[in-house]
A and B are shown apart, each in its own frame.
Chain A
Amino acid sequence: MQQGSFAVDRTHRWAALALVIVATTLLVLGIYHGLLQVLYRAGWIRAASFLGLEYYQGLTLHGVVNAIVYTTFFEVAFGYVVVKHFLRIPLDSRITVLAVAMMLVGTVMAAVPILAGKASVLYTFYPPLKASPWFYVGASLLVVGSWIPFFQWIAAYLQWRRLHPDQDTPLAVVGILSTFTVWLIATIPLAVEVLVLLLPWSLGWTASVDVVLARTLFWFFGHPLVYFWLLPAYVMYYVMVPPLVGGKLFSDKAARLAFLLFIVFSAPVGLHHQYADPGVSSSYKWLHGFFTFCVAIPSFITAFTVAASLEHGARQNGGRGLFGWWAKLPYFDEQRYLFAYAFPGLVLFLFGGITGIVNASVTMNNVVHNTAWIPGHFHTTLGGPVFLAFLGLSLWMLTELGGKPLRLTRWNVAVPYVWAIGVVLFSIGLSVAGILGEPRRTNMALSYSNPDSPLFQPQWEIWTKLGAVGGILMAAAMVIYFAVFFATLFAPAQPVREIRFPTAEALRYESLGVARNFTPWVVVAVIFLVIAYVPPLIEVLGGSTVPSPPYQPFSPVPVGQ
C-alpha cells in the first residue's frame, strides 16, 4: 500500500465517514420538513405548525440542512477521498480534525436556535429579519471550517506538481479544486455579510443594517453556491460513470475545460437573483444576465461529453443503431448502483438547465420571480443531479471507507428512479402553479389553499396537489434510502481495503495547453468579478438606502422598541 492512501490513514477515513454519517442523519430532518411543506401547501395539513414545528421554522430547517449542511459536509468528505486517493500526499491529521470539529460545532450552534424557533429566517436570512446571534456564528464556523480542507488540498496539489512535473493533474482533482475555488470565491462575500453586517447588528452593537447591500452580498454568494453543489456531480459523471458503463471518457480535455469555465463564469452572475430588486441599476442586471448565459456553455459541454461517453460504453457492450444502444446501459445493476444514481439526475438536469435559462432571461424573470416556478426549477437541479449524486456517493463512501457491505441492494437501485419520478411530478405542479402566480415560501394551507379563506385560489389547487403527490413520492424514495444507508452502517464491518475508485480513461489524448494550469482561469475570474460587481457595489454603497433596525418574524415592531 502506498503512503497517503486511505487504508493506512485512520484519521481521514474516520473524518470523512463522520461527515457523511452526521450529514445523512441530519438529512432526515430536512427531508421530513420537505414532505410536510407539500402537505401544507396542498392544504392537507391546515395549520401554522405541526407536531411543534412551525411552517417557516421547518422551511428554514429544510433549506439550511439540505442546501448548506448536507452539501458542505458531503463535499468536504468527498474532497478528502479524491485528494488522498489520487495525489497520495500525506495531510496533517490535526488540521483535518480541527476543520471537521469546526464544521460540527458550527452546525450544532446553528441548529439549536433553528429548532428553538429563534432563527426562522430561512436559508437566505434576509435582514432586517433577525436571528439569534448563535445562528450567524454557527453558520460562519461551518463555512470557515470548510475552507481549511481546501487550503490543505492546495498545499498537497502544489507538492504533487513538484513531484510529478510531467503528469497531467488527475481529472477528479481538477474537479474538486475547481469546486472549492468556486466555494472560496462565493463564501468571501458571505463572510463579509455575516461578520461585518449581520453579527454585530444581531448582537445590538450596531443599530441598523443596509438591506440592499446585504442582499447584494448574499446573492454574490448564492449563485456560485449552486455550482459548488453541481461540480462534484460532474466529477462523478466524468470520472466514475464511464467505467461503470464499460467505456471511456469521450474527451478528457472537454471535461477539464468545463470545470475551468465554471471557475470563470460561476460568480459574476448573482444579480440575476435581484432582477426584481430596487436599488440596483438595470444595466448591471443585464450584464449579469449575459454572464449567466455564458455559464450555460460548460453545462452544454458536459451534457454532450457525458452522453457521448455513455454511448461509447454502450456500443462496447454491443449496443447498435441510433437509439438501440440505450438498451445496453446498466440501469438496474445492483453492483454498479452508482450508475442508477447518475442516470435519472442527467435526465432531470435537461429540464433544470432549460428552466434555469428561463430564469436567467432578464425580462422573462418578471413572470416567474419568487413564484413556485423557482423551487420547481431547482428541485430538477439541486434536487436532481446534485442530490442523487451525493446520495449515491455517500453510500459508496460508507462501503469503501467503513468496510461495510451494502445492504438492501435491490431496494437501493429503486431509490433514484422513485425519487426522479417524484421530482418530475413535483416540478410540473410547482412550475405550472408558479406561472399562474403561486408564490414560493408561503404556508398556503392558511390562505391560498383554504376554500374558507377570501384568498382561496381554486385555479392553483390541482397543480399544488400534483406537486404534493410528487413530494410524497420523493419522501418515499428517501425512506428507502435511509433504510439502505442505516442498514449498511450497522452491518458488521469487514477488513478495510484500499478503496476502489472507478476512474475513467480518456478515449483520445489531446494536448491540454492552457487547461493545464489553474492560474490564468482564476485571473480571468477575478477580472470578470471586478467588472460585474464593482460598479453595482459602488452604487449600493452610495448611501441611497435608508438602513433598517432588526425585526423578528412574529412582530411588526422593531426589536428593542
Chain B
Amino acid sequence: MERSEKLILVVSGTLMGVFLLLLVYSGLGLGVVVPTCITDVRPFTQGRVEQRGPRQYDVYLVSRMWFFDPGEIRLPPGSEVNLYLSALDVTHGAYIEGTNVNLMAVPGSVNFARFRLEGEGVYRVLCHEYCGLGHQNMAGKIIITREAAAAPGAELVAGAR
C-alpha cells in the first residue's frame, strides 16, 4: 500500500471517529435523545392536555387525516412538555417549528418526546409524512402565552384546525 493510501485511510477513519465521538457527546453530554420504544402508554384516540405540576404538561396528541387533535394548545412560557403522539389512521409526522422535536406518528404505536418551550409565540406543528390527499394542509399549533399561565390548567381547543 502506498504512503498516500495509508494516509487517506487514517485521515478518513480518524474523521469518522471524531464525528462519532461528537455524536456520542451530543447524546450523553447535551442530552439530545431520539425516540425509543415505549410500552407504558397504549395507543389512544382522543387528544388531551394534562397538567402534571407547575409548568409541566403531558400532551396527548392524535394525528389523523388531516388534522391534529388537539389542534391548538395554549401553554405558559417555560413549559416542560411530555409529548405522546399517536396516529389514528395512517402514518403521519409531527415537526414543531423552531425546535428539534421531529417525530413519526405510526399507527398502532406511541411516540414520545420531552421538550421545553421558552419564548412566547406560535409554534406550528407540521405533518411531514405523506398521509393522503389532504396532507399539505395538516398542521396544528402550540401557542406559548403568559395568559395561559393565569389559567389553572392549559386551555384547550379540541379538534380546532
Asked if A212 contacts B32 (CB within 8 A), the reply is: no
Distance (whole angstroms) from the CB of B19 to the closest CB of chain A: 6
Asked if A437 contacts B126 (CB within 8 A), the reply is: yes
- Name which residue of chain B comes closest to A558, CB basis: B89
Decide yes or no whether B151 CB sits under 8 A from chain A: no
Decide yes or no whether B159 CB sits under 8 A from chain A: no
Decide yes or no whether B137 CB sits under 8 A from chain A: yes
Q: CA A357 – CA B18 in complex, angstroms?
A: 12
Asked if B100 contacts A544 (CB within 8 A), the reply is: no
- Given A370-B129, A446-B137, are A363 and B32 neighbors across the interface (CB < 8 Å)? yes
Decide yes or no whether A462 CB sits under 8 A from chain B: no
Asked if B19 contacts A300 (CB within 8 A), the reply is: no
Decide yes or no whether A296 CB sits under 8 A from chain B: yes
Asked if B20 contacts A370 (CB within 8 A), the reply is: no
Contact partner of A444 among B16, B133, B136, CB < 8 A? B136
1/0 per residue, CB under 8 A from B, across A125-136: the answer is 010110000000
Contact partner of B65 among A304, A369, A546, A556, CB < 8 A? A556
- Name which residue of chain A comes closest to B20, CB basis: A293
Q: CA A366 – CA B37 in complex, angstroms?
A: 17
- Given A251-B5, A285-B34, A297-B16, are A215 and B130 neighbors across the interface (CB < 8 Å)? no
Decide yes or no whether B104 CB sits under 8 A from chain A: yes
Neighbouring B residues of A362 by C-beta, 8 Å:
23, 27, 34
Distance (whole angstroms) from the CB of A474 to the closest CB of chain B: 22
Interface residues of A in 408-436 (CB under 8 A from B): none
Q: CA A279 – CA B110 in complex, angstroms?
A: 7
Neighbouring A residues of B102 by C-beta, 8 Å:
276, 365-367, 369-370
Asked if A251 contacts B34 (CB within 8 A), the reply is: no
Distance (whole angstroms) from the CB of B146 to the closest CB of chain A: 24
Distance (whole angstroms) from the CB of B145 to the closest CB of chain A: 18
Decide yes or no whether A160 CB sits under 8 A from chain B: no
Asked if A278 contacts B110 (CB within 8 A), the reply is: yes
Distance (whole angstroms) from the CB of B12 to the closest CB of chain A: 4
- Given A278-B112, A282-B36, A363-B26, are A212 and B20 neighbors across the interface (CB < 8 Å)? no
Decide yes or no whether A533 CB sits under 8 A from chain B: no
Asked if A212 contacts B109 (CB within 8 A), the reply is: yes
Decide yes or no whether A301 CB sits under 8 A from chain B: yes
Neighbouring A residues of B33 by C-beta, 8 Å:
282, 363
- Name which residue of chain B comes closest to A445, CB basis: B136
- Given A510-B1, A556-B65, are A446 and B136 neighbors across the interface (CB < 8 Å)? yes
1/0 per residue, CB under 8 A from A, across B68-110: the answer is 0000000000000000010001110101011011111011111
1/0 per residue, CB under 8 A from B, across A178-212: the answer is 00000000000000000000000000000000111
Neighbouring A residues of B132 by C-beta, 8 Å:
56, 129, 551-556
Asked if B65 contacts A301 (CB within 8 A), the reply is: no
Contact partner of A290 among B20, B111, B124, B139, CB < 8 A? B20
Q: CA A552 – CA B65 in complex, angstroms?
A: 11
Q: CA A443 – CA B138 in complex, angstroms?
A: 11
Asked if B8 contacts A301 (CB within 8 A), the reply is: yes
Decide yes or no whether A169 CB sits under 8 A from chain B: no
Neighbouring A residues of B128 by C-beta, 8 Å:
369-371, 439-442
Asked if A254 contacts B108 (CB within 8 A), the reply is: no
Asked if A297 contacts B93 (CB within 8 A), the reply is: no
Asked if B112 contacts A439 (CB within 8 A), the reply is: no
- Name which residue of chain A comes closest to B88, CB basis: A556
In this complex, the member of A276, A357, A364, A447 whose beta carbon has the largest number of chain B beta carbons within 10 angstroms is A276
- Given A367-B100, A439-B126, are A275 and B34 neighbors across the interface (CB < 8 Å)? yes
B residues lining the A interface (CB < 8 Å): 1-2, 4-5, 8-9, 12-13, 16, 19-20, 23, 26-27, 30, 32-39, 42-43, 64-66, 85, 89-91, 93, 95, 97-98, 100-104, 106-112, 124, 126-133, 135-137, 139
A–B complex contacts, Cβ < 8 Å, 8 sampled: A126-B90, A211-B109, A212-B106, A277-B35, A282-B34, A285-B34, A367-B100, A443-B135
Q: Considering the complex of A and B, which 3 residue pairs feature the smallest CB-CB distances, nearest first? A: A300-B12, A556-B65, A278-B111
